[in-house]
Structure 1
Amino acid sequence: MASTSTTAGRKDTEKKEELFQPVGQAVEDISMSGGPATNDESRAADDDGPQPVDEVESLCMNCHQNGTTRLLLTRIPYFREVILMSFYCPHCGFRNSEIQPASQIQEKGAKYTFLVENAKDLNRQIVKSETCDCSFPSIALEIPHQRGQLTNVEGLLTEVIDDLSENQPVRKHTEPEAYQKIEDLIAKIHDMLDGKAFPFEVIADDPTGNSWIEMFPGEPHTKWFDQEYARTAEQNEALDLVNADEAQTQEEGEGEKAEPMSDDEVHTFRATCPSCLRKCDTHMKLVDIPHFKQVVLMSTVCDSCGYKSNEVKTGGEIPPKGRRITLKVDDPEDLARDILKSETCVLTIPEINLDLQAGTLGGRFTTLEGLLREVYDQLNMRVFTESYDSMDQERVDRWRKFLGGLQDAIDGKINFTVILDDPLAASYLQNVYAPDPDPNMTIEEVERTEEQNEDLGLNEMEV
């Protein structure tokens, strides 16, 4: 039995090493098999074969002799292109590996939350750019931004243990109190790695939007959750997107009081384009949705770079409870119903495993068909344009099945259920029988969870 267990353990280790390799090792392996790119012909090699690795002679910061940096441009499935860098100095043996995004800074920052529920989840890959902060709320551990990394949850925690343990022998005699606290934290991390602390959350927060935690199609928002957010003036300044004077002007502009708006008037004010950071116009108009409330339609157009954005903002006081709207779609005419999905709303269609997270697509006021079509276009473009070449056949088939079900819903070929779950009760779905009740629609008030109140900042709000 012991021999069988040892063999199984060895196979698990070999499988894990096959699925995940350190950045430096990945670049080294591809370099050995494919060789460095020396001309344009090698760069045009078949995409299915080893990608070309560029070798650059560079200065070693350890011994100040010349070493070699290998650069590999690769694509991460469901994410985007990145540059893997591996440095080695033959004189002193110093090695260093890191990752950098191959794309520009995104229009918005991104925050990813992943729930680790079992040992398999420890292998989820994490793209951690040099501007990303990672945290583990259950043990109050925050990893500040540093060099870029391509790692996984286990690797991130193991590196924390190595960093914390480095000066522990000295700290035991010079700072015994700090030594004991760090030992307690290391013990908690070991429990997380050994499976004694499941489940726990890992959060990656990156104002550039270039970090990511691996996801798979159909995962519920309770396990994998992403949220986009607008950067603050301080974050733009820290990223060198604006200088200090521009950041101050942006803060002052955000803090200006808006004049009262009338229903028929379109207000225009100067704003900062989130794409090129030049000044552009944002248009606002009040719209009264029957049997609901007034909302603000916002449209931004940048003449400099062509950026366009349309969003809907709801106003009014924060209600004491959230709202869940459920509609059974059994007629193609239901697809023409007006829908307002706020930024805080989670949209779910269980029949096709669609979970549209809060913050995804921002606020939208459109028809049900229009919203589903926009979701389809976004996913189809992201998956089959940005990530198709690097996906295995199983994932390709899974995505095709999911998008096929979504297309059937858009075409009215299947019956399905739409659920709008909004903790701020700021979303709306048209009742075509109004003011009478809709037989296919149920609206219920639900209590917000403590986590939702925390995410919305309601726990710190003083009234």
Structure 2
Amino acid sequence: MEDSNIDTHIDKKPRLSMSSEKQPEKEVFASVGDQAQSVDDNNNNNTSTNNEVRQTGAADAEGHPVQEVESLCMNCHKNGITRMLLTRIPYFREIIIMSFECPHCGFKNSEIQPAAQIAEKGSRYVLKIEDKKDFNRQVVKSETATVKFNELDIEIPPQRGQLINVEGILQDMITDLESDQEERKKIQPELYPKIQEVIDNIKSYINADEGTLPLTVSIDDPAGNSWIEYVPGEPSHKWAMYEYNRTAEQNVYLGLISADEVAQQKQQNQESQPEEKSSNITLANNIAKDTVIGLSDETDIENLSNEVQTFDATCGSCYKPCSTHMKSVNIPHFKEVIIMSTVCDHCGYKSNEVKTGGEIPAKGKKITLKVTDPEDLARDILKSETCGLNIPELNLDLTPGTLGGRFTTIEGLLQQVSSELHSRVFTQTSDSMDEETKTNWINFFAKLKDALDGKIGFTIIMVDPLASSYIQNVYAPDNDPNMETEEFERSFEQNENLGLNDMKTD
């Protein structure tokens, strides 16, 4: 199929159509505000409608009442009824379900809105559908969420909020594509079979035909208000949830900051750091960064170096009790670090983090490693939260804070960068990306893959003002001919960012 990446727009809002009766031009092109004001004036004159919220007497299983209020129908411009229910989804949060019906023209519509504030971080949920019953998983899709079906190569951009299941999303997609097929067959006959092939392919997945499953569905929501149902006790590979720091562009999209503020901040950064190369691809804090759950109680730790310590904590996703595991690990020729891991058995939330201990060193450390052999990719690497990482040959720049603290291999770190960055670039910005930018990103990922395959050499430069990062020296205790380590004095700005200027030890 030549054009398999299809953005479907499932919009159930009524469309303007030419009626048999000629209407005045001012009614057709009147703004929504004018229409609403006209209806309000009529209501005030006739005093026959009641715009107050009324109780219907119905309620959900937990006793939350269903309320209703008169509201304007955008189809016939008369008053209809909107019913609202504030309810809670287990293992998620509160939502508002709204349903509109107009008794005059019969128009109906429904949507959901988050009842909570915008989350501190964005979220991404991934579900692997392995059998037909997985299509019944409940889904909360907010108006800022992007849904993607990997194997179908189909992406649904942000639209109205829905409380639905996975099968319902696909059925809506089929309905939207089939609605214009007859007309498309006449006007664009060359496009008709391609769209029909997509429709048939979606149906085969819904029917779980042989050779179709598994199907991977992901929901990415920078507002953090979307969700895919989790089944307690299921295998960990079926369901996953990630949190990440939003980019400046995403904050602008959500209305948290203005575009002018972003432009002003970028200008200030360029003025303060004129020596930086504009060609470098900078990963800011938009790559997924796991949230570390704080310990709830202080506990006496015995034999920390030999045992995995477990502490009671509270899940940051569903707020139910969970456990945090902590293990002290001694890295040869470096120092002792603490690995922390949290898994919630109720909602499936997972996080892991690496913390370095000890006193704050007087100087920072810069580590430079030349990767010249594929075996170098297996070297252990510890990147702390305060460490910045740069690979000039790949035009890759990880700012401090990106990915959090990670203890892995060089190959594992690059694979995570590739996976997380690829989902950010081609999931959220692919529609608005021009051809030149898209080509640059494709070339970047091609170089990154060559580096992972050991086809090209590259240089890793790690700068950590707290000297808490490390790359394995395979020649230890002798010096590594391909690695250089140097100490440096921290600048005033670095001490300010780390809070050291205000720290008093006298």
TM-score w.r.t. the length of structure 1 is 0.54
- Aligned counterpart for 1:325 among listed residues 327, 347, 367: 367
Question: Is 2:467 the partner of 1:425?
Answer: yes
Q: How far apart, CA to CA, are the structure 2 residues paired with 1:411 and 1:197?
A: 35
From the superposition, tell whether residues 413 and 331 of structure 1 become closer, same or farther in structure 2 (CA, over 3 Å): same
Q: Judging changes above 3 Å, is the alpha-carbon distance between structure 1 residues 74 and 462 closer, same or farther for their aligned structure 2 residues? A: closer
How many Å separate the matches in 2 of 1:444 and 1:437?
13
Partner of 1:23: none
What is the rounded CA distance, in whole Å, between the counterparts of 2:382 and 2:502 in structure 1? 28
8 Å CA contact 1:340–1:363 kept in 2: the answer is yes
* Contact 1:288/1:295 (8 A) holds in 2: yes
Bigger shift: 384-393 or 372-381?
A: 384-393
Measured in 2, the distance between the counterparts of 1:152 and 1:231 equals 28
Displacement, 1:383? 2.1
* 1:293 aligns to 2:335 (yes or no): yes
**Partner-residue secondary structure (3-state), 1:309:** strand
Identical residues among aligned pairs (%): 48
After TM superposition, list the pairs within 5 Å mapping 1:180-195 onto structure 2.
none
Q: Within 5 Å, which residues of 2 pair with 1:260-271?
A: 260-271=302-313
Q: Does the aligned pair in 1 maintain the 2:287–2:421 contact within 8 Å?
A: no
Higher helix proportion: 1
Structure label with greater radius of gyration: 2
Q: Of 242, 251, 254, which aligns to 1:127? A: 251
Cα distance change on mapping 1:59 and 1:294 into 2, 3 Å: farther
Offset, 1:111: 7.3
Q: Which residue of structure 1 aligns with residue 89 of structure 2?
A: none
**In structure 1, which of residues 380, 402, 406 is the aligned counterpart of residue 422 of structure 2?**
380
What's 1:104 paired with? 225
Three-state SS of the structure 2 residue aligned to 1:316 is coil
Instruction: Tell whether 2:37 aligns with 1:37.
Output: no
CA 150–393 in structure 1, closer or farther in 2 if over 3 Å, else same: farther
User: Quick check: 1:283–1:299 contact (8 Å CA) kept in 2?
Assistant: yes
Partner of 1:6: none
Match for 2:280 among 206, 215, 218?
A: 218
* 1:280 maps to 2:352: no
CA contact (8 A) 2:336 2:357 kept: yes
Question: Contact between 2:411 and 2:452, CA under 8 Å: does it hold in 1?
Answer: yes
How many residues are treated as equivalent by the alignment? Answer: 301
- Counterparts of 1:115-154 in structure 2 under 5 Å? 127-128=251-252, 148=255, 151-153=258-260
Residue among 400, 405, 423 paired with 1:358: 400
**Separation in structure 1 between the aligned mates of residue 489 and residue 497 of structure 2, nearest angstrom:** 15
**Partner secondary structure for residue 127 of structure 1:** helix
Query: What SS class does the counterpart of residue 443 from structure 2 fall into?
Result: helix
* CA-atom RMSD in angstroms: 4.5
1:380 CA displacement: 1.7
What aligned pairs does 1:223-242 form with structure 2 within 5 A after superposition? none
CA distance in 2, matches of 1:318, 1:264: 25
- Give, in angstroms, the shift of residue 35 of structure 1: 10
Distance 1:292 1:365 in 2: 13
- 1:396 and 2:435 matched: no
- Letter aligned with residue 374 of structure 1: Q
Indicate how the Cα distance of structure 1 residues 352 and 109 shifts in structure 2: closer, same or farther if over 3 A, else same. closer
Question: In the aligned structure 1, how far is the partner of 2:333 from the partner of 2:313?
Answer: 32
Change in CA separation of 1:449 and 1:327 when aligned onto 2, cut-off 3 Å: same
Residues 1:68 and 1:344: Cα distance change in structure 2 (over 3 Å): farther
Mapping of residues 24-173 of structure 1, within 5 Å = 37-38=13-14, 103-104=224-225, 110=245, 127-128=251-252, 148=255, 151-153=258-260
Deviation, structure 1 residue 389: 3.5
Q: Give how far 1:274 is off.
A: 2.6
Shift of residue 154 of structure 1? 6.5
